[in-house]
């Protein structure tokens, strides 16, 4: 029982890390500041006690480090240029695309569910549906074997 509770705590800590990472990616989109500077600012200014800080840093730094590749791969699944999306939608998609492409240990359904939840919390009324559709197409293309067995 303790192991299951510990794993649930880890999932919650990662979920909180995604939430903070999304806010940091949005801040980057608005300011253009360096990823490391944004991470330091978040760690100093936000309540990070129940956040997996290592995962938070990984999400922010690596999403921005791999931004060109992520955006190029996302482009094939979007109905418009990423620059024309609402900045919050673009941040959600970048974050989730990073996990789909570079964190194969995270199930694609978990990535999509988390992204849709972030869209509900931070986006417009249409954001969750749009994010779900885009990421479902991405998962089908990028995680073909996992996606196929899940259907």
Contacts of residue 108, defined as CB under 8 A and 6 or more positions apart, other chains included, come to 100, 139, 143, 146, 147, 150
Whether the CB-CB separation of 95 and 63 falls below 8 Å is answered with: yes
Contacts of residue 110, defined as CB under 8 A and 6 or more positions apart, other chains included, come to none
* pTM recorded for the entire structure: 0.91
DSSP state of 123: S
Burial 105-116 (b: 16+ CB within 10 A, else e): ebebeebbebbb
Residue among 16, 131, 23, 143 at smallest CA distance from 79: 131
Per-residue pLDDT of 105-141, as tens digits, reads 999 999 999 999 999 999 999 999 999 999 999 999 9
**For residue 146, is pLDDT > 60?**
yes
């Amino acid at each position: 029982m303790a192991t299951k509770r510990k794993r649930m705590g880890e999932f919650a800590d990662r979920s909180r890390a995604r939430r903070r990472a999304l806010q940091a990616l949005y801040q980057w989109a608005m300011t253009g500041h360096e990823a490391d500077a944004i991470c330091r600012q978040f760690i100093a200014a936000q309540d990070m006690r129940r956040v997996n800080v290592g995962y938070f840093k990984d999400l922010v730094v690596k999403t921005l480090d791999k931004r060109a590749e992520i955006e190029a791969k996302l482009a094939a699944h979007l109905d418009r240029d990423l620059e024309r999306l609402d900045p919050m939608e673009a941040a959600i998609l970048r974050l989730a695309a990073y996990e789909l492409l570079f964190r194969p240990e995270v199930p694609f359904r978990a990535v999509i569910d988390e992204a849709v939840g972030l869209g509900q919390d931070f986006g417009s009324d249409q954001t969750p549906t749009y994010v779900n559709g885009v990421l479902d197409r991405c998962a089908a293309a990028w995680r073909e074997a996992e996606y196929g067995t899940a259907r």
